[in-house]
Amino acid sequence: MKIIIINGPNLNLLGKREPEIYGSETFEDFFRTLQLKYKNVELSYFQSNIEGELIDKLHEVGFTFDGVILNAAAYTHTSVGIGDAVKGIETPVVEVHISNIHAREEFRQHSYIAPNAKGVLFGFGLKGYELAIQSFL
């Protein structure tokens, strides 16, 4: 079972960035605990602040991997290109957000990913990524 977590812009700052919203753990530390816990899953991780790199990665994994866990961060609300990439690939995509996007600003209420996602998890903190892994098992 091959699953990749793809994180979008500013998520490289997890641990430092608005900890009251996103928590104080770095994603690298959290990812290591996931790898230890899900030893039977071939888990990989990619982060980019660049829209086209996120699209390229979706194309690269999207016909061979079993699952994509995507937190496109701010691009969720703006990127037709990432939405189209999710639509165009074969691998199912679970959309994750750390915060409860529906309890925040109006501009976070719309997602270009959700219409083509297998499911959406938001508001559970980093645990949402783990729940997304479980959704593929």
Active site residue 110: no
Contact code string over 100-129 relative to ligand DQA, x by CB under 6 A: -x------x---------------------
Q: What is the CA radius of gyration of the chain?
A: 14
Which residue among 38, 45, 75, 97 is the active-site one?
97
Q: Which of 12, 99, 116, 135 binds ligand DQA (CB under 6 A)?
A: 99
Distance CA 48, CA 7 (A): 7
User: Which of 96, 79, 105 is CA-nearest to residue 131?
Assistant: 96
Distance CA 129, CA 109 (A): 20
Residues 5-34 that bind ligand DQA (CB under 6 A): 10
Q: Does 71 bind ligand DQA (CB under 6 A)?
A: yes
Chain centroid to Cα 47, Å, comes to 9
Active site residue 102: no
Closer Cβ to ligand DQA, 74 or 114, answer by number: 74
Binding residues for substrate: 71, 77, 84, 98-99, 108
Q: Which of 3, 58, 61, 98 binds ligand DQA (CB under 6 A)?
A: 98
- Other Cβ atoms closer than 10 A to 68: 26
